[in-house]
Structure 1
Amino acid sequence: MAAAEALRPARMWPGDVMKVGAVGLRTRPLRAFLSALGIAIGIAAMVGVVGISSSSRADLDRTLAALGTNLLTVKPGSTLTGEQAQLPLEAEAMVRRIAPVRSVSAIGMIDDAKVYRNRKIDQAETGGIATYATRLDLPATTGATVASGTWLNEATGRFPAVVLGASAAERLGVGRAGPQTQVVVGGKPFTVVGILAKAPLAPELDTAALVGWPVARSELGFDGHPTTVYTRSADSAVEDVQSVLGATANPAAPNEVDVSRPSDALAARQAADEALTGLLLGLGAVALLVGGVGVANTMVISVLERRSEIGLRRSLGATRGQIRTQFLAESLLLSALGGAGGAVLGMAVTAGYAVSQDWPIVIPAWAVAGGMAATLLIGAVAGLYPAIRASRLSPTEALATP
């Protein structure tokens, strides 16, 4: 029994496996470095491509979001008799109940409230300027910005104050907003508190005079019915929201509602996402393949050069399993070093390029973790054949090799 115990090969603990696997890397540092560098370049390419593409996609998403890919509008259509329909007073509130809708705002046209620079202007010279009652959250929903002055607030929305669209201000000869600047709206003086910049998502605002909802009802005879309801929705749900907007805004007569279709930019965004995803998968697969070939090549050469070492270890009692474990551990260590260096290099390249292009820096965690995991898997597969080949060498054959 004691003799059997003495002949049993010593067990290799995880720490021992790591030390033995590192022997080949320490004794041939230059080759190990070059092999790890090849793996690192492959992983860096994968992480860099994923990171740069993701950063580019984030910038594209930001640009397309500014173009209003998720902006939908609801307007009254025509009745069955061909007359102009009307949205219900509760249209905004009902649209807000749609779960994916993030924001809602509205304007309502005031037909009889013409706008003039002063009372001396001929009433026929309206300049094509329309007056709208507006909600205070209109800029946030439509993306409109103020070029001069300020937007309406809770106070100015209740008093004779007006914000002019860019074209409306130009036609009226109003260059700047201020407490001394007034125009005539519906026969009454209104102070120009703001002038909008061009509104590409809502061009109707360019030729509009916008007043608060409360003052429109109290001073200009506004009936409270919205004529345009603006909605922002989650990008993934734009088409679903569009399909229910008409029936939600006017349940009694959904056929009398006109709903805008999703922006063409949204379709372009989805197509770009699909193209970039395919590019990432293809380039990532090539990078991993190159890294795996490098590891396999390095380990095969290592086995050929270390046949004497393998024979000596077998003569001293090392089992085939221990030889396999040694070379497999060496392959995994080599892959891990290359993978870690490549991940760091790929993240640095992504960050540098994104900053140079003024993009948001986006490095998906799955790319780094997946790259490391794939590196270890490739290292194990690439090192398996050399490890098996080394374990099959007999001690006499290995020692006889010059």
Structure 2
Amino acid sequence: MTGTEIASAHRRKRPRPVRLAPADLLGLGLLGIRTRQVRAALSALGISIGIATLIVVTGIPASSQRALMAELSALGTDMLRAQPIPDQDPPVLLPEESPAMARRIGPVTSVRVVANTHAGVHRSDRVDPGDFSGISVLATRPGLLKAVNGRLRSGRFLGSSTERLPTVVLGSVAASRLGIPQVTGNQQIFVGGHWFTVIGILRQTPLSPDLDRAVFVDWQTARDTLKFDGHPTVIYVKARESQVEAVRDVLPATVGYASWHDWPPVVPAAAVLSGVGGAVVIGVVAGVYPSVRAARLTPTEALATV
């Protein structure tokens, strides 16, 4: 045979590749699982643990961030609180025009006030008049809840329909001390020598704990019934978040009229900022520490802790 014939015969004997059908490929792939079931189960378990670890490591910080942002939003990072220095002799009074002057500040979006009427509050007219139970009676107007991020637990808040009527809303602590867990429509309390009907109870307000120990009365009702003098005690100012610092700088001067009369208003914005900083630190620590600890675990150690 010539060289050409030998090469041609050799090519004819070379095996041709065979393509497996999809069903054959599936059967071949499942062969290892059928014959080595324990090994396949452990491999699947290891992959599942790896995926779960990844989800946990990425999910915890995301959850912490969302919780942190919700907490910061509840604290009211866009709010400032202005009030005179307490326990001054003679007492320091904010002028009645203070809220209107604060509203003239450009970035301010909302202004709400409360005022201490210095009235006594009791569960009934048969209680010792000297027992004030540590509860303050605050005059206010509709819209206060939105300004302080407050929420109702029961009933409703003061509004236009209750203006000049003897109705009150209780803070969470005040309601507990007065023995009124929820509004039923027929509870009354004795305020400043007059009967008032309870129409609402607030949830706890983390931003302003002093409001939890208060009984809220309509502003005009307080002037007519409780002989309230009309001077605000605390001014709650909400501003665009990007302009809070600027508003803080001009707010004392704007309530500018009090300073002219040597009335030193206090804006404790440092307390709000420190609270925000503390919440950020706690959120970071709560998210990073579990993540680092989980990342250091091997699959075997993770299984051992289950």
TM over 0.5: yes
Gaps in structure 2 of 5+ consecutive residues: 1-59, 285-306
Is 1:246–1:255's contact at 8 Å kept on the other side of the alignment?
Answer: no
**Correspondences of 1:91-170 after superposition (within 5 Å):** 91-111=98-118, 113-170=119-176
Q: After TM superposition, give the deviation of residue 54 of structure 1 in Å.
A: 9.5
Following the alignment from structure 2 to structure 1, what is the Cα–Cα distance between the partners of residues 187 and 89?
Answer: 42
1:65 to 60, 65, 73: 73
**Residues 17-75 of structure 1: per-residue CA shift (max 9 Å, x gap):** xxxxxxxxxxxxxxxxxxxxxxxxxxxxxxxxxxx999986764443121122221111
Following the alignment from structure 1 to structure 2, what is the Cα–Cα distance between the partners of residues 150 and 191?
Answer: 12
1:241 to 222, 243, 247: 247
Name the structure 2 match of 1:327: none
2:224 to 215, 218, 222: 218
Following the alignment from structure 2 to structure 1, what is the Cα–Cα distance between the partners of residues 187 and 138?
Answer: 19
Name the structure 2 match of 1:183: 189
Name the structure 1 match of 2:85: 77
Identity within the alignment, %: 39
Please tell me the residue identity of whatever aligns with 1:256.
P
Following the alignment from structure 1 to structure 2, what is the Cα–Cα distance between the partners of residues 170 and 228?
Answer: 24
Please tell me the residue identity of whatever aligns with 1:257.
P
With over 3 angstroms needed to count, the CA separation of the structure-2 counterparts of 1:188 and 1:78, relative to structure 1, is: closer
Please tell me the residue identity of whatever aligns with 1:66.
A
Bigger share in helix: 1
Is 2:93–2:263's contact at 8 Å kept on the other side of the alignment?
Answer: no
Q: After TM superposition, give the deviation of residue 78 of structure 1 in Å.
A: 6.3
**Correspondences of 1:43-58 after superposition (within 5 Å):** none
Secondary structure in 1 aligned to 2:138?
A: strand
Please tell me the residue identity of whatever aligns with 1:163.
V
Following the alignment from structure 2 to structure 1, what is the Cα–Cα distance between the partners of residues 168 and 86?
Answer: 30
Secondary structure in 2 aligned to 1:206?
A: helix
Following the alignment from structure 1 to structure 2, what is the Cα–Cα distance between the partners of residues 211 and 172?
Answer: 16
1:207 to 203, 213, 226: 213
Secondary structure in 2 aligned to 1:158?
A: coil
With over 3 angstroms needed to count, the CA separation of the structure-2 counterparts of 1:238 and 1:267, relative to structure 1, is: farther
Is 2:92–2:263's contact at 8 Å kept on the other side of the alignment?
Answer: no
Name the structure 2 match of 1:399: none
Q: TM-score, normalised by structure 1?
A: 0.51
Gaps in structure 1 of 5+ consecutive residues: 1-51, 276-402
Secondary structure in 1 aligned to 2:231?
A: coil
The two structures, once aligned, show a CA RMSD in angstroms of 2.9
With over 3 angstroms needed to count, the CA separation of the structure-2 counterparts of 1:240 and 1:254, relative to structure 1, is: farther
Name the structure 1 match of 2:264: 256
With over 3 angstroms needed to count, the CA separation of the structure-2 counterparts of 1:98 and 1:124, relative to structure 1, is: same
Q: How many residues align?
A: 224
Is 2:83–2:266's contact at 8 Å kept on the other side of the alignment?
Answer: yes
With over 3 angstroms needed to count, the CA separation of the structure-2 counterparts of 1:64 and 1:241, relative to structure 1, is: same
Secondary structure in 2 aligned to 1:237?
A: helix
Bigger share in strand: 2
